[in-house]
Structure 1
């Protein structure tokens, strides 16, 4: 079947070249989390909002889509199919699964960064209009008489206004509504949203699980040499996305540079910084650019945790985090020079972060 133009557009919540999580038919790892969701639904104690947290690329969105499919396909928690279910699997041939895969289910919405035709780029954040549009699903009667569900992917992409718009729905949800919020750093989610969600924390995947996930995706990932897949899994910090990024030809060598720079923070080798800036300055380095920021934010969080008193130094790192995040969004929104951005970020860390 020929792809439509919309199907060819980049998706903010998917790794380029890899299937979107809504197309995943199996879940690798996270069996305890899956059973927690199933039990809560089956026993009639399902929270109206869930904050699904954990490192980026470990399967949070896959689990959220899997749960949304199951609930929409089985709207009665007391039904025999739910009582007898061993997991959240729904056959791909099921009408609900087909509608969700096509983003065409009337009782479901996806809230994420939008494609901007004028600039031919993804938005740098989830706008308040995108949130309000996505939440309209809860203002209508359920088309199939069951649940209405929205997935937010991810919470880090919300700005202050869009987060507050989401908060209003989380505070006063209608009956039989379910909001699944994917969060790579749950601690950074608006506190008033966190307090109104049931939290589900997913652990990083094992190396074997990452290898299994990469191979299951098929070409080109499964065609990589076995030793390369194993090496990527070993350096991926429990993230399938990170492993796939390291396997991508355009990212070759960037992963090692990022590792070297992060290991040298707050004052890494300037030659490594210059090489990384050159490597990710163009479009071919999109995923390496994202990986650089993921590793950077992880380092900042770890660095702040390890700082001794006084608390003022922790506050300085928090403020530094906010400035880097704002600069990243501005660079994306205005299509600024990524090379200069990377160099400026490293320079600011070196000037701000105290030596330990």
Structure 2
């Protein structure tokens, strides 16, 4: 289940280093409306058994999910004055429940995420059905803390078909006072049966003021020295994602970011000299940050197809969708089989160029 990873000093798949883990992040920026929606549902006694917290990566979905879980653990009675008078879901970091949750020691909270596999020194590529069964075993027992039994899934995108169906069975018929919090980067790709049994909270990309505050707070907590001008440039390029802004601040030299911008702007022509420089930079263990930058740029370019060409129909969009699926599938295979990232990057540039040519031909 991976619940002791933080305690044991092992890597955590649901944390972006150097930022603090979302369970240790006690401030929320830019999502007050979503927070209020959850609080009002609880106060009114209309708490759904499951919520999907959806939206792009790095905007605070997991931070909100942990904030929800912490509040429910600290205030299990919706009629209590502390709940009825609360303005938000804040819980004092010194509260005993907050300390337990930060230490992953709260007995009624199951955490589902991709496990660290010590043998391979890698994260598992999926949340398996066995992970789900082990984590959710506590729902078959009485609540040890006397409140709500909760499961936090970060992220639901990492469920496979079997593990998603195992989770669905419990969401369909949960024990009383059960709560499931599903963080999802692409909620539309979850099982329709799961979506139909959850209340959806869609979070938007952070506006500049909230993004700057979030990035500054995370950088300070991580003791990442970030001059105001560097922080401003990172936020301007991050497209509303605190994760991306922090990655830009922590990047060694930004080679991949700069080159990707140049190469993608020229598609369907490919500057192969720059493409090979990028492929060299993403190779090896020392190139993990650069590889993340490479993938992020590719996905952002594909997602921007509609913005670049608002008149695109299904036929013209299909080539972009095919490359998106190729990237997702092959990236998982890279992790499983330890394949050559350099060769992969070169192939990706070819596929992106083909998609752009095909889309333009469909528009002609």
Could you say whether these structures have the same fold, taking a TM-score greater than 0.5 normalized by the shorter chain as the test? yes
The answer for the alignment partner of 1:275 in structure 2 is 277
CA separation of 1:267/1:83 partners in 2, compared to 1, >3 Å: closer, same or farther? Answer: farther
CA separation of 1:5/1:349 partners in 2, compared to 1, >3 Å: closer, same or farther? Answer: closer
Aligned mate of 1:293, from 292, 295, 298: 295
1:182 aligns with 2:170: no
The answer for the alignment partner of 2:347 in structure 1 is 344
Asked if the contact 2:279/2:341 (under 8 Å) is kept, the reply is yes
Equivalent residues in 2 for 1:121-160, closer than 5 Å: 121-160=122-161
Instruction: Tell me the CA shift for residue 186 of structure 1.
Output: 1.8
CA separation of 1:263/1:127 partners in 2, compared to 1, >3 Å: closer, same or farther? Answer: farther
TM-score under structure 1 length normalisation: 0.91
1:322 aligns with 2:325: yes
SS at match of 2:252: helix
The answer for the alignment partner of 1:17 in structure 2 is 18
CA separation of 1:272/1:165 partners in 2, compared to 1, >3 Å: closer, same or farther? Answer: farther
Tell me the distance in 1 between the aligned counterparts of 2:34 and 2:258.
32
SS at match of 2:66: helix
CA separation of 1:209/1:311 partners in 2, compared to 1, >3 Å: closer, same or farther? Answer: closer
Equivalent residues in 2 for 1:231-250, closer than 5 Å: 231-250=233-252
CA separation of 1:98/1:331 partners in 2, compared to 1, >3 Å: closer, same or farther? Answer: same
CA separation of 1:256/1:221 partners in 2, compared to 1, >3 Å: closer, same or farther? Answer: farther
The answer for the alignment partner of 1:97 in structure 2 is 98
Unaligned 5+ runs, structure 2:
none
Unaligned 5+ runs, structure 1:
none
Equivalent residues in 2 for 1:177-216, closer than 5 Å: 177-216=178-217
Tell me the distance in 2 between the aligned counterparts of 1:86 and 1:29.
15
CA separation of 1:132/1:291 partners in 2, compared to 1, >3 Å: closer, same or farther? Answer: farther
The answer for the alignment partner of 1:51 in structure 2 is 52
Aligned mate of 1:252, from 235, 251, 254: 254
The answer for the alignment partner of 2:73 in structure 1 is 72
CA separation of 1:37/1:265 partners in 2, compared to 1, >3 Å: closer, same or farther? Answer: farther
Tell me the distance in 2 between the aligned counterparts of 1:9 and 1:110.
15
Tell me the distance in 2 between the aligned counterparts of 1:12 and 1:190.
22
Asked if the contact 2:282/2:294 (under 8 Å) is kept, the reply is no
CA RMSD of aligned residues (A): 2.3
Asked if the contact 1:111/1:131 (under 8 Å) is kept, the reply is yes
Instruction: Tell me the CA shift for residue 293 of structure 1.
Output: 2.4
Instruction: Tell me the CA shift for residue 66 of structure 1.
Output: 0.3
Instruction: Tell me the CA shift for residue 243 of structure 1.
Output: 0.5
Tell me the distance in 2 between the aligned counterparts of 1:332 and 1:4.
20
CA separation of 1:81/1:219 partners in 2, compared to 1, >3 Å: closer, same or farther? Answer: closer
Instruction: Tell me the CA shift for residue 215 of structure 1.
Output: 2.1
Tell me the distance in 2 between the aligned counterparts of 1:180 and 1:280.
34
Instruction: Tell me the CA shift for residue 222 of structure 1.
Output: 4.6
